Structure 1
């Protein structure tokens, strides 16, 4: 058996958690102890000793390096453990019927090699009545580890256990994690103990009987001989304050309909006296295998001061556990994969039946009852929303809107009205869907009258929603936007009257109606992209006439990776040189991996001359996104086209536009990059679609903004 270190580093991302190696060391020590107790059930207690030695590497700038060792009294690295250590995707622990040991893939130890130049092991174990010691010396730049790298010698029974030593931080890790906070600060005994109390609280509490009067000591050896030592023992563990279980209903990933089955989530709340427990902050986290993985404290405690200080004299720790979270935790143990934000997701390949939105809907009220700062009143906010905006408790109940800590009257009113707006749009769409079905029905059949009944009930319910929401303003505003777009497309706006010889700005005017130019959705939420499709305004990110290189993703991370794989390097370099300045008028991105490309052409410009633009944009975005984007929807919008030049395109049954769907393949390598669905649309069609969406409510208001 051989552990391929270089291959494992490629396939397992580095964790963003600075304490990840410490967590893995202690977690493995606990597992090893449980295995020893299972094999040899004597009365003993877990004993783990962590030593962090901080070294000064430069007298000039005070640069520091780090060496960490962790010693335990577990079972040691016997034959089965050795085989598992040398297997990247191991199932060793999965088959152990031992309480407290969770499933694993063996990816945790890869973080050792991500963070440190050298990894050494000294382990004493029992085998066939003998006591042996297995040693892996500290060697830098290992590419692989196999059995021949270990030496085996006779050992002492009193030494059974394992010491793992991690030495010399890698330069990239030192720059990324220790540029501001030094190793001596991060790995001080006090900080290690504080962090590990929270990280292992749930596991230590649940295993208190199995681990006995355990002791986990933290020692920091600082430069100049200063030593700091603190210990975490069984007596230090607080009792759990309360435990709540909640069932999250599963939904069909495609339709979003309830399935009648449920996923169970358990919330454990620890309310800790701040005068007894010296903790740096409150913590609310999604957990996997009884350990915090994803911190969600900011969702419930909005300010930094609330997160960091005790609330009414108590620190609060809320740990959320579920088999779903255990199954979906990523290899770096700093997040979860495969849990969608919403259901339905719109992705045919999504299979998860529980979304973050569904989880939060169920756990939010429970956590808000557990952790709520003083000085804020839900009743006061509800009363203020009713007085200032007319949003009464009945409307809150009708839209299933909860008032949570941090809300004010304005934010509550906005959420309620937005939900009514979405409901009205959905109702309107369904009305016209039914109308189209009615037109296809045969009047002399019973089905025709059934459709009439459905339409009348749907219309009546939508009017009730409309009246409750008092959304006349929305309809008036949207009707005005549609009329402005219609005038702009016909060059009838006052701003489009220009003197002879002055360059026309028709495309710029039309573009700005949909979305402000040279802006993105991080800078403005005031736009009218709904004119093209209602769902696009809810996408994660919209960029209007922005260079591709400026588009950001995930808290400042660039969406388009400048680094590309070797296979496409030469081709993409050439494309980048030729098209580096190219960018779509509007680009809309969804983190599920889809992109919408919108290109406007001024009145009179023939669309058939530019049908290749969409494909070229899609190729560039697919390739430069490094695999993040695979599904593309392209829209080329104008008012002129030569039908004879639209070979390969299918004409819409209604309207003058065309559509087609084509695979995106690299022209030089043939590699599949994704799929492009493209449409060429006329401005009149856009106006007609938008008018149709709001028509029923505009008629109710007897609103007509067009010029007679």
Structure 2
């Protein structure tokens, strides 16, 4: 069929506006370039069959220019090959939507992606017919003037020429959407992209590959070039085979069942240095090209795992996969179990579902590489530790899908989302029981029976709701205690990497954030469960201390009071007790933290000073007379403490020292107060808190 010059290629069978809407723009930005590269390879293969001595060549030119912002911006991309060219037969196939007659199982939809991504794609192709050579020029676009003619191809001319070499030059002009992928391409990067995309085809054809040249230009100046040779292609390390059975939906019943029919799948594995392979992966391959989004994954290795410096790529090919390619190259029509059951009218009567491919291939990989299974076991052990650390519910763990690539935070997110849904269902069940009360009639004969049914439901449901909430509460406490222990043993990275001794600040902020007033959100429960319910502050200057918005320390002092408060070169007004809590009117708890290696006996009078300042220099509205002091550290020698302050006594059973109530002297006519003090180790508090929390954990697990 001859095509007239300067004509749009139209069709009576379809509307291209609908075709463009039906065949969506590929999610792979470089898809139109891949289409053209694949066509170049195919054109060279056809010519090679006609002339065994022929040597194919593909040249790719990346052209960039400088925009007004003086940034490099994609201009156009050219792919040239010396293949068979677009003769009348090939051009007819190019213009026939869903053409199945061309070799290599193409469906003739590549031009749709050209139109989706570029304002225009120009073809200049030389072909041989008889003893003569012809040049054909045509353009692909979805510009409005094209669609107005119900066309996306404009045939400019086809003329006889004197050139004696066939081939095609495709130029992609003007991106329709801004793309950094194109803007950032250079020769070496594009070489990597092509090898990654076509590794399967290259591996199987490495001895017969055409010469592939890539050139990168900026402002028409050659800035870089690269070649793809057989030395760039990784070797297939192992090849294995897997036979998978087809599934069908029986005439009666809703569960799919296996048939006697099966299909062979080929697994090619590559073991590549971790520096060269970005991530471990498993991909399906159709017609020699890797499918980017095939909904199968490698379940035994995380993306970033490496074994002795190597990462692994597994490519799965089969006639079954090739036959399931769609009118969008790289999009497969392979159903999962759910879609097969719901839409069996769309698929054939027998299919191999994605789950069977996923499971079968991953099981086969275990036998191919036992060392990979060992890595999988380590991941499983880490997951088990995570479940134990956060008290994650086993039932929920079985209900959610955890990927080996999920980070710990992603796993926790999935858990909490699942538990939130479970809680919502529980709440709905409780509400349903309450709503049913409206329909109960105390006069009916079965009233007691109906009431008992609703009571039984509530009795079962409410504990489930409470257990979820309590699990989060206890799991958080467990995590805090683990962190506390790491600080005491100096195992945090910040402690290992920094020689400065700021352990006290780490402990202080763990128990009660410095400068905070939110004691309810603190972890002072480690010291005493009641402390989180008291109002208070952390490391607040005495002169700025407030309770319920009222200033505690006096705003003005007498001359004598000022003389004392500023004596000996000190300013006692700005003293900062580590923690002050006010359990009720007239009472104050003072807590002081010491760095683990400090001798606590050197600081025995510090809390007494704070008590004295608060007792004597607070506003009259705050007559605080009862104090409780807690001096906490790790380096505590009981004899040293009792030797310096003889009123301290040692409680051997509970491993702490205490000083019975003693006087807090009132100055200038104020009545005396009293203070009870304890000296205790961080490790003792940690052990006590662990025991308390374990009681909750045991109850949850029982």
Greater Rg by CA = 2
User: TM-score scaled to structure 1, two decimals?
Assistant: 0.49
User: TM-score scaled to structure 2, two decimals?
Assistant: 0.50
